[in-house]
Amino acid sequence: MMKTVACIVQDGFAPFEFGLACEAFGLDRSNDGVPNFDFRVIAPHPGVVTSKLGFSINVEHDLSFAYEADLVIFCPVPREYWTQIDPLLLEVARDAVARGAWVLTICSGSFILGASGVLDGRRATTHWMYSEVMAEMYPQIDIDPDVLFVQDDRIITSAGTAAGIDACLHLLRIELGAELTNRIARRMVVPPQRDGGQAQFIDRPIPVAQNDSLAAVADWAVEHLRDDLGVDQLAARALMSPRTFARRFKAEYGATPAAWLARQRVLHAQRMLERSDLSLEQIADECGFGSAAVLRQNFSRVLGTTPTAYRARFSCAEESESSAA
């Protein structure tokens, strides 16, 4: 279980990305039943650390804590430092990966891992604006510019800015389960899990989601996951042709209707695995997968684990029954 979190900043740090790491792992949410982390902000050179917006924060701790933390977070690196990463940060990155700690980078923080060599032969991402530069600097890394985040073993790299929230929630879901992560997401007023990737933002930085009929159909689909839902049926509810519906749906949700439905069904399965003692066949039927085999296939593809292993770690069915009594 992850208990200690080290968040590394340096001169030129980005306030928003730094803040979302603090929001995800640093706040006391014990009133919501969420365990607290021992969260510390650290720097290669303690003292006054200046943000890229000109204001400063005082960081008391050096990098010592990073060598024992369960999670090490690297905030974005200013572009002028990409070719001269502080050797102290490189040592921390190599140590964290070697001892099996979680490592998470937000936006250009991935350049630290690139310089350290720990991403060699791995898949990773960064902000789409920087992906070509990173690919040129580190051709041994498989850069995916079209995703919100990438997990390769215990290394998570995220795309730009708000994608860091997705990466943080993804890690929290692995460590705490869907139920507690959903509570955190509700407090942050963000969706617990977004579909799609960076590709939907490259050509239009501000995504347009103004089609009320698609939103109504999506809401309806979530309430009817058990049904045999297809593009034809969903398109009919939206009063569109299947081709037009599929095109508009992918443009607005960043995923095909089928992929989006599969993800929603996995999320529903997570909740049922946590809160009930139903068999896998029953859960598969309730979620619209049809069979336990199909449930396992989709669950493993999305979450990288089996439904049985997930239930063993995150089940709170007995706790729910006792609280209801």
Residue 98 belongs to domain with CATH number: 3.40.50.880
232 and 149 in a common domain: no
Q: What local confidence, expressed as pLDDT, does residue 310 receive?
A: 83
Q: What local confidence, expressed as pLDDT, does residue 214 receive?
A: 87
94 and 9 in a common domain: yes
283 and 178 in a common domain: no
Determine how β-strand 47-50 pairs with β-strand 56-59: antiparallel
Can you give the pTM of this predicted structure? 0.69
Instruction: Report if residue 196 sits inside a domain.
Output: no
Contact residues for 233 (Cβ-Cβ < 8 A; gap 6+): none
250 and 106 in a common domain: no
38 and 184 in a common domain: yes
Q: In whole angstroms, how far apart are CA 211 and each of 172, 230, 245, 289?
A: 31, 19, 11, 28
Tell me the C-alpha distance between 324 and 273, whole Å: 18
Contact residues for 305 (Cβ-Cβ < 8 A; gap 6+): 299
Residue the block writes with tokens 């809160």: 275
Q: What local confidence, expressed as pLDDT, does residue 274 receive?
A: 86
Q: What local confidence, expressed as pLDDT, does residue 7 receive?
A: 98
Domain residues for 230? Answer: 210-325
E-strand stretches of the chain: 4-8, 38-42, 47-50, 56-59, 71-74, 102-105, 123-124, 142-143, 149-152, 155-158
Q: Which two tokens stand for residue 88?
A: 């102290």
User: What is the chain's pLDDT, residue by residue, as a tens digit (325 residues)?
Assistant: 899 999 999 999 999 999 999 999 999 999 999 999 999 999 999 999 999 999 999 999 999 999 999 999 999 999 999 999 999 999 999 999 999 999 999 999 999 999 999 999 999 999 989 999 999 999 999 999 888 899 999 999 999 888 999 999 999 999 998 889 988 988 888 877 665 555 434 432 333 344 567 888 998 999 999 999 999 999 999 999 999 999 999 888 878 999 999 989 998 998 899 889 999 999 999 999 999 999 999 988 877 788 998 888 777 655 444 444 3
Task: Name the burial class of residue 93, with classes exposed (0-12), middle (13-18) and buried (19+) by CB atoms within 10 angstroms of its CB.
Answer: buried
105 and 36 in a common domain: yes
Instruction: Report if residue 193 sits inside a domain.
Output: no
Instruction: Report if residue 197 sits inside a domain.
Output: no
220 and 170 in a common domain: no
218 and 182 in a common domain: no
Instruction: Report if residue 48 sits inside a domain.
Output: yes
Instruction: Report if residue 150 sits inside a domain.
Output: yes
Instruction: Report if residue 67 sits inside a domain.
Output: yes
Cα 201 to the chain's mean position, in Å?
17
Residue 292 belongs to domain with CATH number: 1.10.10.60
Residue the block writes with tokens 């705490």: 176
174 and 237 in a common domain: no
Tell me the C-alpha distance between 27 and 183, whole Å: 13
Contact residues for 296 (Cβ-Cβ < 8 A; gap 6+): 280, 306, 307
Instruction: Report if residue 76 sits inside a domain.
Output: yes
127 and 48 in a common domain: yes
Question: Is residue 141 classed as helix, strand or coil in its secondary structure?
Answer: coil
Q: Which of 131, 156, 188 is the last residue of a domain?
A: 188
What's the total number of domains in the chain?
Answer: 2
Cα 101 to the chain's mean position, in Å?
17
28 and 177 in a common domain: yes
Q: Which two tokens stand for residue 236?
A: 């009919």
Q: What local confidence, expressed as pLDDT, does residue 201 receive?
A: 46
Q: Which of 188, 223, 249 is the last residue of a domain?
A: 188
Instruction: Report if residue 23 sits inside a domain.
Output: yes
| Cβ atoms 72, 96 nearer than 8 A | yes
| Cβ atoms 144, 154 nearer than 8 A | no
Tell me the C-alpha distance between 33 and 316, whole Å: 12
Tell me the C-alpha distance between 262 and 268, whole Å: 10
242 and 164 in a common domain: no
